[in-house]
A = this chain, B = another copy of it.
Amino acid sequence: MVTDHLPHTLRSDALDNRERILDAARALFSADGLDVPMREIARRAGVGPATLYRHFPTKQMLVAEAFADQLHACRAIVDEGCADPDPWRGLCLVIEKICELHARDRGFTEAFLSTLPGAPDVAGREYTVKTVAGLAQRAKDAGHLRPDFVLDDLILVLMANKGIHATSTATQVMASRRFAGLAIQAFEACPHHAPLPPAARLASAAPASA
């Protein structure tokens, strides 16, 4: 489901290992973030380090493949939000779902926010961002989203959501849900909203820190 355009023919055991590696990677990335040692992924997958490196020469490639599904989910969520006749409701839905997605998967957030070294784009990230921008504009026009909302505010919320950690996944998701609720509250147009400090550019030109 991930990528069918493999280098044509791959031996059956190799393909099996590949899948097992991806499974292991997904599990570990989700639970512990992206800094798990490659070795550990290999160990969990039941293969040697060499095999892992053969299939995925760099961690970024592994990450990209491992989170392909999540990224599709992300796109799906955005598309679903855009499909909603009420753009504000659609936007809220996007915020909630995306926050939950990120809460459930620690590594994905890092990958999505390009905390990765060079970050040669984690696939459809750009598309997703742009599409949601349209949704936001419509919500704004409809008068439900505050006029001074900026797309970077969404990035801000995403980054912020990333900062939320808890001991268990359940708690994490709960916290993220509440956070999303607060964010929505902050974004909703309100007759007497204070002018809000200026936004900072975070989105585009940021290859991230570490």
Residues of A whose CB lies within 8 Å of any CB of B are 115, 153, 156, 159-167, 171-172, 174-175, 177-187, 190, 193-194, 196-202, 206, 208-209
Contact = CB atoms under 8 A, between A and B. Distances in A.
Given A182-B187, A185-B194, 13 more contacts: A156-B179, A160-B160, A160-B164, A161-B163, A163-B164, A166-B200, A166-B206, A171-B200, A171-B201, A174-B198, A175-B200, A177-B198, A183-B186
> DSSP class of A's interface residues: helix, strand, loop or mixed?
helix
Nearest to A182: B186
B179 A160 contact: yes
A161 B182 CA distance: 14
27 contacts: A156-B164, A156-B178, A159-B165, A160-B164, A161-B163, A165-B209, A166-B200, A166-B202, A166-B206, A167-B206, A171-B200, A171-B202, A174-B197, A174-B198, A174-B200, A175-B202, A177-B197, A178-B196, A178-B200, A180-B197, A181-B194, A181-B196, A182-B183, A182-B187, A185-B190, A185-B193, A186-B186
